[in-house]
């Protein structure tokens, strides 16, 4: 395998294309590393091989041979390698490294987050689905746990533990599962204990044009009966009607209202994975354009259809939420196989229905339940291995975006922030943690992921202060109960923080969230400080009669840490003029040589070679990062940083 | 008073008012000279709803004669005798709110409608409400406005060497739309100014609007030179500009028209500064739309926001088609260019379009916000608006006669000031800590500019304001906004002053629709308002007092 470094490689800033940095490119077993060697402070760019989406070698020019690397987290890197031969080698190696053939080659099997076997084991128990079902109030007199799928003998893509109506007998379950694609019979996803209504999920029935299955009909009847206050249920087919009808020709299809007593059938028209894949591709082309006009952007956004698809998922979630919370009617959701659109719709509805899923731990549980356990094909959809490109589709991406769109509409209702969603998105692709490896529970058990890899959830929980939304108010009227979002078209926005995550110039230059998080942290410090002062005063008063010099070190925090409010926003301001002239740097500015690093992971020198850091934390919004760096050091902006707003390096070196 | 002539029916009972965020309520409607007053019949403590007639942009009425159905009505068991006819008036306001009044009685409805129509379109300045508004907290004896040119000049010690205040326009004879005093290069005497003014449209010769301390360069603005078809020159105008850049250096002229438009302007007597006559000055053209194009853009945008369809495609296509965000992008980008010339390049800039009363003001004030931390405080921003818009002669009365709903044929209407507010909102969104004022201030200004209790936005120029007695007989909005309790409401709780320039991103994903303004009457806006309150609480009620407490106990 190619395993050496190439010198004098240039990394082109794809956003402004004004400047390139020269450095050395290293390929390791897990990462591509670019070390810049011109600047005083060494800066590095780390890219996980598993995050590489495509590597494209372009026609070589006089200056070298360009290599375009696109990543699954929307980072785009353009290297120019002096020698064509080197470029070829890097290209071939990177293609090979980024497309492993076997699960065992994935990063999570070699990633070691410094914890012992026992801790690792315990960490996997952090999210426990049994606890989740009992949180919902299950099992109870209406719903029971069925052992039908133990050893995955009924459906190899379903989890072992499933909840079904009390009256569903094993023959009914078996019969129903034979009448459903991949044996995915109707089973419980979410139980709304306030009124006993439930969201159930399954795959499509194998009805063809006229086939019936008594057990399947009994299964649905059992679901209706398990909701004592209603005498019918909704069956929501998330596909466009045309697609569902086409499936009938292949012996599949949808439920005939005449055969099933007491169902109301409903199509919601979410497009399939292929349409979504192409839609994302189109939207990314628009978002990557250099200095596009507003019209180009809006027209492109429209023709990509992306926001339309997002709205369709939210609309379906709203429909189910209304049925459950307002009408008290249970719902069965399915699409074709019941692991893509069904997962999206069920989980969006859960977020709307239950405030728990708007908390950090709740969202983890929800993803673990509706996506991981119910067999969303993560490894196929997110392109973990060298596989069929037609299986790839941004399905969970759309769910995360739906949650983001809702959190934009209800800024106080979500405990987690945007960064949490972006971090999850990152790791769905990164293969750094074992959570999303494989396509179903059976595969995951066989791979021994819990023994061999780490869990993302514990990592996120340990760092939860980074992911808390400072505006979250558990007691706020917005937060409690069911969310009733507007779904007018203008409520859906382009999510620049994710899709333009590395085009730093596009994001707000100062972040309210970061500021409030800093304030919250400081408030906590102040409260501690206050308590300690009061204690001290109390003690002083007590001891005035006695000797006075006992507690000099009651608290060890230097006053400088808390004395001034966050006043270093200017450091976070590190920004430069955009290309206002429209002539690509027509004005000759003495500062232009020193433009900030775009889209790069910037770390102070020696640490980073020792351990591959989580790239997410360091790359997510560098401006905000630098603001925080400024806050933590809390020194007033010195002359230098005030004069040279371009240098992020100052902020980092100060930290 | 003669208002009574317009009022055909002053009072109607049992009117149902429907407005955003409120349940329909029944009450009494009263038409006065300047207001619609609606009071709840129950007479509970709720304050009556007051609508300035000036705020009404369009009025639509529909009447129904229910005579034939009266029997049907009485059989439904209503206790009251049903009215035999009724009407509905829809009021579309300049603040984009849409109200509906259900009025019993066809005749009353028509009378009310026609009263509103004639009263809301009264054009005489001295009859407008600001001349009658007498709040207890302000006195007519106070100085009208925040600051005069002389006071502004006096504060900027650093420019006293190179620049002076000229009173050449003290009787408005040199330029009818300029204020009496302006700041010009020290070396240029009044006589030269008079001659230079004759070479500029509307007499608007180049004047100083911003001095950049670090580089010693300036932003000036003017109207177009009247070079005309045969390329006339004006020695004095050239001298004036030469004095700005001291002969040796380079200066930039940012023309807010395309070069083609500038060429065409020569045919009607206007023109541009040719390279050969203005040595050292480099001209750049950036086309900013104004007038009718801008007004139609606003109309299309508001129409798109009111669209009830549920298609994302349709929404995005209408949003694009309105071009409003394109205008925002161009305005910010041109302002960025001006600021870049001054701060990064260290060269002075002259901004002008044709009249120099619209896009020039837009660009010069945005450039100042980018560069000048003083203009980003609450008082500083209001001061900037006073200097660059009110005193500089933006024709508010003409531009803001109607807003997005009016069916009246457009004459001089153009939402240039609203575009400015939108651009400032975009700046504040990208730099949420850098501005001393908050979104509610921008929203208040967007409302006041069309219909106000105050005289600030009346008339088209300083001269008109003097002639009509605005400065003696009305109150100044800016002063009112700076009173202690208002000041708190309009301050940004997150404000942390930065001395750095704030360079906005003009990439399309960075520019967003200003929901707070254009969708303020939808539920969506409500959640965001609540979020603002939470932020306010977080900062002011938790953090700051705690900080003080710690400091106190520390002592």
Q: Does B504 touch chain A (CB under 8 A)?
A: yes
- How far are the Cα atoms of A425, B152, B214 from residue B342, in angstroms, in the given order? 42, 21, 10
| β B281-285/B217-221 pair status | unpaired
Q: Which residue has the tokens 């650093």?
A: B158
Angle (nearest 5°) at CA A376 between A371 and A382:
110
Closest CA to B254 of B362, B344, B409, B148: B362
Q: How far is B509 from chain A (nearest CA, A)?
A: 6
pLDDT at B532: 84
Q: Does A96 touch chain B (CB under 8 A)?
A: no
Cα separation of A69 and A77, whole Å? Answer: 5
Q: Which residues of A touch B325 (CB under 8 A)?
A: 294, 298
Q: Which residues of B touch A510 (CB under 8 A)?
A: 430-434
pLDDT at A476: 76
Q: How many CB atoms lie within 10 A of CB A242?
A: 10
Is B529 a domain residue?
Answer: no
**Do residues B155 and B109 both lie within one domain?**
no
Nearest CB neighbour to B539, from listed A508, A519, A570: A519
* Cβ <8 Å between B336 and A577: yes
Cα separation of A252 and A268, whole Å? Answer: 18
Is B542 a domain residue?
Answer: no
Sequence-distant (6+) residues with CB within 8 A of A42 are A35, A36, A605
Is B142 a domain residue?
Answer: no
Tokens representing residue B59 in the block? 């009025």
Comparing A35-44, A71-80, B50-59, B299-308, which segment has the lowest mean pLDDT?
Answer: A35-44
pLDDT at B145: 87
Q: Provide the annotated active-site residues of A.
A: 335
Cβ-contact A328, A352 below 8 angstroms: no
Q: Which residues of A touch B519 (CB under 8 A)?
A: 490
Is B253 a domain residue?
Answer: yes
Cα separation of A175 and A184, whole Å? Answer: 11
Cβ-contact A222, A215 below 8 angstroms: no
Q: Does B123 touch chain A (CB under 8 A)?
A: no
Q: Does A285 touch chain B (CB under 8 A)?
A: no
For B:39-78, CB contacts with A below 8 A are: none
- How far are the Cα atoms of A240, A241, A250 from residue A246, in angstroms, in the given order? 10, 9, 7
* Cβ <8 Å between B315 and A489: yes
Q: Residue B232, exposed/middle/buried by CB under 10 A (0-12, 13-18, 19+)? A: middle
pLDDT at A134: 95
Q: Which residues of A touch B318 (CB under 8 A)?
A: none
CA atoms within 13 A of residue B351's CA, in its CB half-sphere: 34
Is B512 a domain residue?
Answer: no
Comparing A180-189, B204-213, B238-247, B337-346, which segment has the lowest mean pLDDT?
Answer: B238-247
Cβ-contact A262, A224 below 8 angstroms: yes
Cβ-contact B455, B466 below 8 angstroms: no
| Shortest CA distance from A405: residue in chain B | B524
Run of H or E residues at A408 = helix A395-409
Question: Would you give the distance in Å from CA A218 to the centre of its chain?
Answer: 38
Average pLDDT over residues B320-336: 95
Cβ-contact B503, B370 below 8 angstroms: yes
| β B251-255/B348-352 pair status | parallel
**Do residues B432 and B491 both lie within one domain?**
yes
Cα separation of A396 and A351, whole Å? Answer: 14
Cα separation of A529 and B55, whole Å? Answer: 53
State the DSSP string of A234-263: EEEE-S-HHHHHHHHTTT-----TTTSTTE
Nearest CB neighbour to A510, from listed B320, B434, B508: B434
* Cβ <8 Å between A589 and B345: yes
**Do residues B31 and B166 both lie within one domain?**
no
Question: pLDDT below 70 — which residues of chain A?
Answer: 1-3, 14-18, 39, 113-115, 478, 544-576, 578, 581-655
Polymer length in residues for chain B: 555
Is B526 a domain residue?
Answer: no
**Do residues B296 and B363 both lie within one domain?**
yes
| Shortest CA distance from B549: residue in chain A | A530
**Do residues B431 and B492 both lie within one domain?**
yes
Q: Where are the alpha helices (DSSP H) in A325-377?
A: 341-353, 360-366
pLDDT at B67: 55
**Do residues B178 and B37 both lie within one domain?**
no
- What burial letters (b/e) apply to B3-42, b meaning 16+ CB within 10 Å? beebbbbeebebbbbebeeeeebebbbbbebbbbebbbee
Tokens representing residue A335 in the block? 């699409």
Indicate the pTM of the whole model. 0.88
State the DSSP string of A260-301: STTEEEEE-----HHHHHHHHHHHHHHHH-SS--HHHHHHHH
Q: Which residue has the tokens 């291995």?
A: A385
Polymer length in residues for chain A: 655
Run of H or E residues at B325 = helix B324-343
Q: How many percent of chain B have pLDDT more than 90?
A: 57
Tokens representing residue A389 in the block? 């490109």
Tokens representing residue A463 in the block? 């760092």
- Helices A294-304 and A306-321 pack at an angle, to 10 degrees, of 50
CATH number of the domain within which B54 lies: 2.30.29.30
Q: Does B519 touch chain A (CB under 8 A)?
A: yes
**Do residues B372 and B435 both lie within one domain?**
yes
Closest CA to A254 of A178, A202, A312, A219: A202
| β B348-352/B182-185 pair status | unpaired
Run of H or E residues at B219 = strand B217-221
Is B307 a domain residue?
Answer: yes
Question: Where does a domain end: B482, B500, B518?
Answer: B500
Q: How many CB atoms lie within 10 A of CB A53?
A: 16
Cβ-contact A184, A157 below 8 angstroms: yes
Q: Residue A125, exposed/middle/buried by CB under 10 A (0-12, 13-18, 19+)? A: exposed
Nearest CB neighbour to B527, from listed A411, A487, A576: A411
Sequence-distant (6+) residues with CB within 8 A of A73 are A51, A425, A426, A429, A430, A501
**Do residues B223 and B116 both lie within one domain?**
no
Q: Which domain holds residue B57?
A: 3-72+81-122
Domain total in chain B? 2
In this model, does residue B387 exceed pLDDT 70?
yes
- How far are the Cα atoms of B128, B189, B389, B487 from residue B142, in angstroms, in the given order? 21, 33, 21, 18
Sequence-distant (6+) residues with CB within 8 A of B477 are B448, B452, B454, B455, B456, B457
**Do residues B118 and B179 both lie within one domain?**
no
Q: Which residue has the tokens 């259809």?
A: A305
Cα separation of B452 and B397, whole Å? Answer: 12
Cβ-contact B493, B543 below 8 angstroms: no
- What burial letters (b/e) apply to B187-207, b meaning 16+ CB within 10 Å? ebeeebbbbbbebbbbbbbbb
pLDDT tens, A26-45? 988 889 999 888 767 778 88
Nearest CB neighbour to A409, from listed B313, B339, B524: B524
Q: Which residue has the tokens 């008109």?
A: B464
Q: Does A523 touch chain B (CB under 8 A)?
A: yes
**Do residues B59 and B192 both lie within one domain?**
no
- How far are the Cα atoms of B33, B119, B452 from residue B4, in angstroms, in the given order? 7, 10, 21
Tokens representing residue A546 in the block? 């006695």
Question: Would you give the distance in Å from CA B490 to the centre of its chain?
Answer: 16
Residue A468 phi, psi (nearest 5) = -85, 135
| Shortest CA distance from B527: residue in chain A | A410
**Do residues B114 and B186 both lie within one domain?**
no
Cβ-contact A382, A388 below 8 angstroms: no
Q: Which residues of B touch A294 (CB under 8 A)?
A: 320, 323, 325-326, 328-329, 508, 511
- pLDDT bucket at B247, cuts 50 / 70 / 90: low
Sequence-distant (6+) residues with CB within 8 A of A459 are A113, A433, A614
In this model, does residue B196 exceed pLDDT 60?
yes
Is B554 a domain residue?
Answer: no
pLDDT tens, B423-474? 999 999 999 999 999 999 999 999 999 999 999 999 999 999 999 999 999 9
Average pLDDT over residues B177-185: 94
CATH number of the domain within which B433 lies: 3.90.190.10
Q: Does B250 touch chain A (CB under 8 A)?
A: no
Cα separation of A511 and B196, whole Å? Answer: 48
Question: Where does a domain end: B500, B521, B544?
Answer: B500
**Do residues B289 and B175 both lie within one domain?**
yes
């Amino acid at each position: 395998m190619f395993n050496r470094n190439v010198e004098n490689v240039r990394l082109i800033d794809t956003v402004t294309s004004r400047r390139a940095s020269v450095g050395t490119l290293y390929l390791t077993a897990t990462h591509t590393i670019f070390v810049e060697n011109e600047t005083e402070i060494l800066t590095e760019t780390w890219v996980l091989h598993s995050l590489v989406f495509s590597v494209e070698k372009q026609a070589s020019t006089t200056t070298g041979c360009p290599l375009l690397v696109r990543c699954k987290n929307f980072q785009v890197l353009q290297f120019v390698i002096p020698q064509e031969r080197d470029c070829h080698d890097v290209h071939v190696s990177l293609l090979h490294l980024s497309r492993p053939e076997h699960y065992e080659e994935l990063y999570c099997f070699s990633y070691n987050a410094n914890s012992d076997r026992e801790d690792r084991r315990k960490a996997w128990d952090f999210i426990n689905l049994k606890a989740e079902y009992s949180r919902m109030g299950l099992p109870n007199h209406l719903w029971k746990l069925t052992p039908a799928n133990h050893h995955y003998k009924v459906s190899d893509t379903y989890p072992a533990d499933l909840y079904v109506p009390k009256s569903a007998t094993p023959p009914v379950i078996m019969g129903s599962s034979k009448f459903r694609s991949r044996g995915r019979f109707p089973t419980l996803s979410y139980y709304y204990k306030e009124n006993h209504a439930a969201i159930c999920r399954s795959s499509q029935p194998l009805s063809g044009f006229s086939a019936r299955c008594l057990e399947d009909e009994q299964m649905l009847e059992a679901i209706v009966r398990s909701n004592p206050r209603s005498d019918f249920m909704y069956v929501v087919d998330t596909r466009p009607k045309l697609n569902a009808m086409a499936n009938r020709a292949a012996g599949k299809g949808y439920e005939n209202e005449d055969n099933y007593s007491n169902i109301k059938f409903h199509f919601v028209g979410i497009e399939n994975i292929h349409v979504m894949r192409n839609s994302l591709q189109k939207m990314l082309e628009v978002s990557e354009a250099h200095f596009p006009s507003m019209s180009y952007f809006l027209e492109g956004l429209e023709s990509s259809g992306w926001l339309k698809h997002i709205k369709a998922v939210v609309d379906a979630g709203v429909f189910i939420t209304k049925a459950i919370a307002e009408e008290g009617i249970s719902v069965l959701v399915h699409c074709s196989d019941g692991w893509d659109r069904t997962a999206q719709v069920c989980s969006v509805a859960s977020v709307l229905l239950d405030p728990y899923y708007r908390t950090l731990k709740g969202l983890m549980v929800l993803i673990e339940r509706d996506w991981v356990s119910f067999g969303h094909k993560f490894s196929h959809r997110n392109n973990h291995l060298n596989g069929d490109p037609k299986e790839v589709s941004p399905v969970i991406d759309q769910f995360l975006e739906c949650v983001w769109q809702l959190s934009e509409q209800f800024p106080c209702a979500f405990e987690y922030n945007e960064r949490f969603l972006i971090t999850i998105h990152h790791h769905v692709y990164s293969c750094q943690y074992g959570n999303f490896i494989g396509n179903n529970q059976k595969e995951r058990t066989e791979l021994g992921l819990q023994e061999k890899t780490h869990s993302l959830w514990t990592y996120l929980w340990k760092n939860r202060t980074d992911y808390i939304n400072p505006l979250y108010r558990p007691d706020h009227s917005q937060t409690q109960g069911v969310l009733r979002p507007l779904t007018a078209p203008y409520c859906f926005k382009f999510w620049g923080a994710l899709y333009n995550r590395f085009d730093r110039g596009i994001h707000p230059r100062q972040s309210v969230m970061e500021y409030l998080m800093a304030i919250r942290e400081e408030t906590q410090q102040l409260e501690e400080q206050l308590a300690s002062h009061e204690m001290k005063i109390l003690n002083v008063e007590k001891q005035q009669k006695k000797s006075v010099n006992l507690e000099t070190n009651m608290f060890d925090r230097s006053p400088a840490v808390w004395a001034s409010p966050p006043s270093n926003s200017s450091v976070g301001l590190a920004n430069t003029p955009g290309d206002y002239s429209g002539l690509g740097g027509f004005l000759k500015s003495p500062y232009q040589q020193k433009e900030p690093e775009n889209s790069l992971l910037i770390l102070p020198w020696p640490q980073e070679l020792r351990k591959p850091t989580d790239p997410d934390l360091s790359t997510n919004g560098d401006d905000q990062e630098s603001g925080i760096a400024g806050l933590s050091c809390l020194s007033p902006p010195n002359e230098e940083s005030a004069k040279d707003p371009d240098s992020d390096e100052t902020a980092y070196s100060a930290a | 008073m003669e208002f009574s002539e317009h009022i055909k029916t002053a009072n109607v009972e049992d009117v149902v008012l429907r407005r955003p965020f409120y349940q329909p309520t029944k009450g009494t409607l009263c038409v006065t000279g300047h207001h619609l007053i609606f009071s709840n019949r129950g007479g509970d403590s709720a304050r009556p709803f007051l609508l300035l007639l000036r705020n009404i942009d369009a009025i639509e009425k529909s009447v129904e004669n229910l005579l034939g159905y009266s029997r049907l009505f009485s059989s439904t068991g209503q206790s009251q005798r049903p009215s035999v006819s009724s009407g509905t008036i829809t009021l579309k306001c300049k603040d984009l709110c849409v109200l509906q009044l259900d009025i019993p009685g066809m005749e009353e409805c028509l009378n009310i409608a026609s009263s509103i129509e004639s009263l809301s379109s009264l054009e005489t300045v001295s009859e407008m409400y600001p001349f009658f508004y007498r709040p207890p907290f302000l006195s007519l004896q106070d100085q009208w406005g925040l600051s005069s040119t002389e006071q502004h000049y006096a504060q900027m010690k650093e420019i006293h060497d190179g620049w002076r205040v000229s009173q050449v326009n003290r009787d408005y004879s040199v330029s009818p739309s300029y204020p009496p005093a302006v700041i010009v290069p020290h070396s240029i005497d009044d006589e030269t100014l008079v001659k230079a003014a004759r070479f500029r449209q509307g007499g608007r010769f180049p004047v100083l609007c911003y001095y950049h301390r670090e580089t010693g360069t300036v932003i000036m603005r003017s109207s177009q030179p009247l070079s005309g078809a045969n390329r006339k020159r004006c020695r004095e105008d050239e001298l004036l500009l030469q004095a700005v850049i001291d002969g040796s250096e380079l200066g930039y002229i940012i023309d807010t028209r395309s070069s083609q438009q500038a060429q065409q302007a020569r045919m009607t007597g206007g023109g541009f500064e040719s390279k050969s006559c203005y040595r050292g000055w480099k001209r750049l053209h950036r086309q900013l739309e104004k007038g009718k194009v801008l007004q139609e853009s606003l109309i299309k945008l508001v129409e798109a926001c009111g669209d009830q369809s549920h298609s994302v495609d349709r929404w995005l296509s209408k949003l694009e088609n309105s071009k409003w965000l394109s205008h925002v992008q161009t305005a910010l980008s041109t302002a960025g260019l001006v600021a870049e010339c001054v701060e990064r390049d260290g060269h002075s800039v002259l901004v002008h379009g044709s009249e120099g009363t619209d896009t020039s003001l837009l660009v010069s004030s945005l450039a100042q916000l980018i560069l000048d931390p003083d203009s980003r405080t609450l008082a500083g921003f209001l001061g900037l608006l006073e200097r660059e818009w009110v005193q500089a002669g933006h024709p508010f009365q003409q531009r803001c006669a109607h807003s997005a709903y009016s069916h009246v044929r457009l004459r001089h209407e153009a939402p240039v000031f609203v575009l400015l507010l939108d651009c400032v909102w975009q700046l504040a969104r990208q730099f949420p800590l850098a501005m001393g004022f908050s979104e509610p201030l921008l929203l208040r200004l967007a409302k006041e500019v069309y219909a106000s209790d105050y005289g600030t936005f009346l008339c088209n120029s300083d001269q008109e304001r003097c002639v009509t007695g605005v400065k003696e007989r009305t109150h100044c909005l800016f002063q009112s906004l700076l009173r202690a309790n208002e000041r708190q409401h309009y301050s940004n709780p997150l404000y942390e002053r930065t001395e750095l320039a704030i360079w906005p991103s003009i990439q399309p994903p960075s520019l967003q629709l200003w929901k707070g303004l254009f969708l303020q009457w939808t539920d969506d806006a409500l959640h965001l308002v609540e979020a603002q309150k939470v932020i306010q609480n977080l900062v002011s009620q938790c953090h700051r007092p705690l900080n003080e407490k710690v400091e106190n106990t520390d002592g």
